[in-house]
């Protein structure tokens, strides 16, 4: 994964939106995890967070945007989502800010379209600034919980596809 592939992945998700929802294409979870690993926001490889206990993550690494309600449950079971919805500031001055919002994806049962949109839109916003080559600025500005959400949402969407 490199700085341009994050945007390319977001574009691919957009182009294959209907096929992903129809289960004709599978969510490329490994590519989402590679994008997260490239961003260097998390202390461990992205894949490892799915099995990590919510309580341990909350205590050791979380920036407390996610509602982590079950200490002994893995992060893969989290029903809360943090969506990266906007970025502003000045990349040339290494001052950017991402904004986030909570997204309910389990109200009335699991809503796969919402998880797909969280991953797609988050990668689009992040990819837009990642292409500037200011990786350290992007890394410092990103919420750990929002990045974990990309991992969890993509894995949960893929699980839904395979069910």
pLDDT at 161 over 90: yes
How far, in Å, are 10, 49, 50, 53, 116 from residue 98 at the CA level?
17, 22, 24, 26, 20
- Using the predicted structure, report yes or no on whether residue 32 has a pLDDT greater than 90: yes
Q: Does the structure show a pLDDT above 90 at 118? A: yes
Phi, psi (rounded to 5 degrees) for 96? -125, 155
DSSP, res 76: G
Mean pLDDT of 30-46: 98
Tens of pLDDT, residue by residue over 76-99, are: 999 999 999 999 998 888 889 999
The mean pLDDT value for 30-55 works out to 98
CB-based burial label for 74 (10 Å; 0-12, 13-18, 19+): middle
* Residue 119, pLDDT above cutoff 90: yes
Question: What is the average pLDDT across 114-141?
Answer: 94
- Residue 127 has what pLDDT? 95
Confidence check: pLDDT of 38 > 90: yes
Enumerate residues 6+ apart whose C-beta is below 8 A from 127: 6, 7, 8, 9, 10
Please report which confidence band the pLDDT of residue 129 belongs to, taking 50, 70 and 90 as the band edges. Answer: very high
Whether the CB-CB separation of 26 and 13 falls below 8 Å is answered with: no
CA distance 68 to 58: 7
Q: How many CA atoms lie within 13 A of 50 on its CB side?
A: 16
Task: Choose among 143, 127, 133: nearest CA to 91.
Answer: 133
Give the pLDDT of residue 51.
Answer: 98
pLDDT over threshold 90, residue 48: yes
Indicate the average pLDDT of the chain: 95
pLDDT of residue 57: 98
């Amino acid at each position: 994964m490199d700085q341009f592939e994050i945007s390319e992945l977001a574009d691919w998700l957009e182009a294959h939106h209907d096929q992903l929802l129809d289960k004709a294409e599978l969510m490329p979870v490994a590519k989402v995890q590679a994008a997260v690993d490239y961003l260097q926001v998390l202390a461990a490889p992205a894949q490892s967070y799915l099995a990590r206990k919510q309580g341990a993550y909350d205590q050791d690494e979380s920036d407390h945007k996610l509602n982590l309600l079950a200490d002994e449950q893995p992060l893969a079971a989290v029903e809360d989502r943090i969506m990266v919805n906007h970025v502003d500031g000045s990349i040339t001055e290494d001052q950017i800010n991402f904004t986030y919002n909570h997204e309910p994806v389990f109200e009335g049962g699991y809503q796969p379209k919402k998880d797909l949109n969280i991953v797609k839109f988050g990668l689009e916003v992040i990819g837009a600034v990642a292409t500037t080559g200011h990786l350290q600025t992007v890394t410092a500005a990103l919420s750990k919980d929002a990045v974990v959400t990309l991992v969890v949402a993509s894995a949960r969407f893929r699980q839904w596809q395979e069910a």
